[in-house]
Structure 1
């Protein structure tokens, strides 16, 4: 059967060509590594007390939810040839706003919704400020978001008076700790938001316009694309999704830790986006790949803890896994390996003459 790009062989080749395929492979390998240490690692149980599935896989899904949110926002920003280093700081701002509000609000559903709305509004405004600095003022995205990254935790300290603030609200806590159909609500919400954003950018011209300003801003302007408006929208969306991640992270313990909430998660978001196949040069983005990257980061974090890797060696362990994965994804590396196999299979000069 000829390989004309159709049939099982063609489908498999197309799947392997997608960069996030190797992210899926890495997730499977990490789970298998954990399985060798504990044969029951992948077992799933049922908790009759709260009607929920329990197990390590469920914990990974819950941990992946905030990373998914900031990765999706980061993916859109990077597609415009930008970067958003402030996502971790926006998370702590959202957490500070929600906890400070709930500390003085009654333990009611209305109070939880008010805190959620206020936190997301503030987060979107912070993202909008980033967009204004980039599109209107003309600052480099790296500098603009670095400023907000440094200022964000200071803003959170002003909101909470410099203290880690706790609150009590059952409805708000349910967002991160509740279950629906046996699965964590936080993961289902994150997945629903990913699907909605995906439909927004792929079922409309928005995605193409975002890619256009990332590939060639001048050509996009001549084609009538409103670059300024798109940048404002993209950075606002990134801020909004970071606020959602901040709510997820804060609601799980009903406490905002000014120093730790969202700390260095901007690095995880960038890694997840790159693992998913989105180029840092901009112009193209892959939301499915970013979601796979977020799941890989969460799996890697859980694996580090499960294997008992010391905290001092954890960054090095994660770096090795990420570097190996990026090398596997690299087209240049794959071409080099193919060329070596081709060279190795060719007959030597003497064998060719003898033949």
Structure 2
């Protein structure tokens, strides 16, 4: 039991279970089946968490190498803008082949943006926070140029399936995120890639002296994050059936970093937890739904979220738990040694 309590994911898991319990008690339909699909608050949480899971997943790999990426929101905006612009120009927006091709183009653009960030960090040598800040500011402007400052609406059933479709009773958006998680876990835990990421983040100099291509690995994780952010942008734009270059992915980089931290990955790089990141992303989305479910005023949403996050982070601190919940062990009695007469 003590080992379970000391596990870094125990307290996040407990808080998630509590919030889900609150939603199950307050919502009229927590989980139900309609038209052969699962519906309800739980399904809404899973579907709504998909974009954040994708972004946080890529952010975990970047942070594992000692980096950071503040441009994921802008990449999402660009990806959605490219896709919606091209789809709006189609004569038949319901053409599955054309829509799939456009989705591929949008993801390629996102990969190129990730390559740009990786090159600035690994090759040019710019600090990650500065290099990605450049694209964070400029990328939002690029997205507005693509859409000409307007909201581009699309009416494409194949495209909207990314966000609102179902497959095997589960939301397509969540299945996409789950597939990305499974692939990442497979590559990082069943191959040497995970060890290489941790070595680069733990000690770049030592990894370079050991013959590890730190630059190539650094560029790779930024490219992967760019692709995941682009895919998240497609899901977000498909959800509202339009490209909003101003609000798309706004501040999602902060939630992604928060999800990574909740999952137990250190911001200084090194060891990382994919499952912990997924748990953190679902917690953040569940928190949003819970705030609405318990009737907290919208003005207090951010404050309530901050309080819960602080409590969660403190609960993960072994030192804090030892001071607040720990019991002081009684010192063993000192035997009196008799003094010979």
Q: Same fold (TM over 0.5)?
A: yes
Trace 1:16-35 onto structure 2 (pairs within 5 A).
Answer: 16-35=5-24
| Partner in structure 1 of residue 338 of structure 2 | none
- Indicate whether 1:199 and 2:186 are aligned: yes
User: Are the structure 2 counterparts of residues 347 and 285 from structure 1 closer, same or farther at C-alpha, using a change threshold of 3 Å?
Assistant: closer
| Partner in structure 2 of residue 353 of structure 1 | none
User: Are the structure 2 counterparts of residues 113 and 87 from structure 1 closer, same or farther at C-alpha, using a change threshold of 3 Å?
Assistant: same
Distance 1:79 1:191 in 2: 20
Is the CA contact 1:34–1:41 (under 8 Å) kept in the aligned structure 2? no
**TM-score of the aligned structures, taking structure 1 as reference length:** 0.90
Distance 2:165 2:2 in 1: 40
Is the CA contact 2:23–2:41 (under 8 Å) kept in the aligned structure 1? no
- Indicate whether 1:316 and 2:303 are aligned: yes
Count of paired positions: 332
Distance 2:75 2:333 in 1: 62
Q: Secondary structure at the match of 2:38?
A: strand
| Partner in structure 1 of residue 74 of structure 2 | 89
Distance 2:297 2:331 in 1: 47
Distance 1:13 1:255 in 2: 50
| Partner in structure 2 of residue 213 of structure 1 | 200
User: Are the structure 2 counterparts of residues 261 and 221 from structure 1 closer, same or farther at C-alpha, using a change threshold of 3 Å?
Assistant: same
Is the CA contact 2:75–2:113 (under 8 Å) kept in the aligned structure 1? yes
Partner deviation per Cα, 1:33-71 (whole Å, 9 max, x = no partner): 334545x453x22212xx211110000000010010000
Trace 1:63-78 onto structure 2 (pairs within 5 A).
Answer: 63-78=48-63
Is the CA contact 1:176–1:249 (under 8 Å) kept in the aligned structure 2? yes
Q: Secondary structure at the match of 2:328?
A: helix
**TM-score of the aligned structures, taking structure 2 as reference length:** 0.93
Is the CA contact 1:19–1:275 (under 8 Å) kept in the aligned structure 2? no
Note the aligned Cα RMSD (angstroms): 1.8
Q: Which runs of 5+ in 2 are unaligned?
A: 335-341
Distance 2:308 2:113 in 1: 33
Q: Secondary structure at the match of 1:53?
A: strand
Distance 2:116 2:289 in 1: 35
- Indicate whether 1:279 and 2:266 are aligned: yes
Trace 1:1-355 onto structure 2 (pairs within 5 A).
Answer: 12-38=1-27, 40=28, 42=30, 44-48=31-35, 51-105=36-90, 106-107=92-93, 108-337=95-324, 341-342=327-328
